[in-house]
């Protein structure tokens, strides 16, 4: 043999990965002279191949193993789980879509049993999932005629021997009783031939309907009867990757590895729009509304900020003669200029609203007015009569209070 053949893999394993059959079945096919490699009929399974050879099984050329795939199939009752039935009954594989190619089943279901059946194109994976050492639980719903007591349930949970064949411990849960039938949920680890039916028959229950609802982590769920559902390659790798040997290729992962990986650009802190930093205020030149997107106040025509453009105030002409006030009469009447009416309003003085307002003045307002008018001179230089203080705080002329009267409200 050449070095290439020495470094290959055994033909039974290779054909199992190609989906021809299980390793054990392929060994029987080789012993029967049904396998041909490069024009020679094999008589021993101790032969290694590299995949470059031409292999023919039962007159059909075997193609290179494809990527490992797994399907969930809802098997209806009345189909046989085999590729060829000697009695000519309809098989599961006769009902499968042709685009699946050649697939093999993981375990089997009886003719009258229904429910979840796993299919794969990898014989090595099928063998690994069938082994009891895998520890996957096969869960069933069983409808049986009769009744069951706690002693019988404990017997099934501890493991039962039927006709010299020992069955492992079972998970048993009673769902409900409907007339003369009872619904049970059964969980087993080994999956021997007709295990559930024979174990329940040993405790007095005759199974008339059996549905597999789960096989390990895979559930029947809402899959319709006769429907096939593909398992995603990533799910298959997560659930079965530890059970498969190195070198197995998964369909989606192989396609993903062929594509260049796009790495996201590294984000740097700082700048507009980065976390922790406020976004810059955007100004709209045609906006007249105040807000975070309005233009600055300095560019607004109605702005009152110091930097805004405002019309200049009127300036006073320095050459314009300032108006002169008339001197008090009686002090220097001869040298005074003709009296001019002063129409300017004193700064800080409010106009007397007493004559125009209908509200009566308070004591504070009257007292303040008398004090202001006390120093004013009359036409002849003397204080006017209305401004003379009244003795004893009595009201003066006109009924107004004198300046020494205490304001109302103070003691």
Active site residues: 110
Distance (Å, whole) CA 72 – CA 100: 12
Distance (Å, whole) CA 151 – CA 135: 26
Q: How many CA atoms lie within 13 A of 295 on its CB side?
A: 11
- List residues bridging with 50 in a β-sheet: none
Which stretch of DSSP H or E encloses residue 87?
none
Which stretch of DSSP H or E encloses residue 367?
helix 363-373
Residue 12 tokens, joined: 């039974």
DSSP 273-305: TSTTSPPPPP--TT--S-STTSPPGGG-TT--S
Helix 251-258 with 233-240: angle, nearest 10 deg:
110
- Specify whether the CB–CB gap between 208 and 178 falls below 8 A: no
């Amino acid at each position: 043999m050449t070095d290439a053949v020495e470094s290959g893999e055994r033909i039974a394993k290779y054909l199992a990965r190609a989906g021809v059959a299980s390793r054990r079945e392929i060994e029987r096919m080789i012993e029967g002279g049904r396998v041909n490699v490069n024009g020679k009929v094999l008589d021993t399974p101790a032969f290694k191949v590299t995949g470059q050879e031409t292999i023919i099984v039962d007159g059909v050329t075997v193609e290179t193993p494809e990527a490992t795939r797994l399907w969930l199939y809802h098997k209806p009752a009345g189909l046989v789980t085999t590729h060829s039935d000697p009695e000519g009954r309809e098989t599961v594989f006769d009902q499968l879509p042709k685009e699946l190619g050649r697939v093999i089943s993981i375990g089997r279901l009886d003719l009258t049993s229904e429910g979840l059946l796993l299919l794969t194109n990898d014989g090595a994976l099928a063998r690994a999932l069938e082994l009891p050492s895998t520890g996957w639980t096969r869960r069933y719903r069983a409808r049986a005629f009769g009744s069951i007591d706690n002693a019988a349930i404990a017997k099934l949970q501890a493991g039962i021997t039927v006709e010299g064949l020992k069955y492992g411990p079972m998970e048993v849960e009673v769902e409900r009783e409907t007339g003369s039938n009872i619904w049970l949920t059964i969980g087993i680890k080994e999956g021997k031939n007709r295990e559930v039916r024979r174990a329940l028959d040993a405790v007095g229950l005759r199974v008339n309907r059996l549905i597999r609802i789960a096989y390990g982590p895979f559930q029947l769920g809402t899959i319709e009867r006769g429907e096939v559902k593909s398992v995603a390659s990533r799910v298959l790798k997560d659930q079965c990757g530890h059970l498969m040997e190195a070198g197995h290729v998964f369909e989606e992962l192989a396609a993903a590895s062929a594509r260049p990986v796009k790495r996201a650009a590294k984000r740097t802190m700082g700048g507009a729009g980065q976390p922790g930093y406020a976004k810059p205020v955007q100004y709209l030149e045609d906006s007249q509304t105040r807000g975070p997107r309005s233009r600055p106040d300095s560019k607004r025509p109605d702005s009152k900020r110091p930097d805004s453009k405002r019309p200049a105030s009127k300036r006073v002409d320095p050459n314009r003669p300032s108006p002169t006030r008339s001197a008090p009469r009686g002090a220097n009447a001869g040298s005074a200029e003709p009296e001019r009416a002063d129409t300017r309003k004193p700064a800080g003085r409010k106009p007397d609203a007493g004559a125009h307002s209908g509200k009566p003045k308070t004591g504070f307002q009257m007292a303040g007015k008398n004090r202001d008018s006390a120093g004013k001179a009359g036409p002849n230089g003397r204080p006017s009569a209305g401004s003379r203080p009244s003795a004893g705080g009595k009201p003066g002329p006109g009924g107004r209070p004198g300046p020494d009267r205490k304001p109302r409200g103070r003691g």
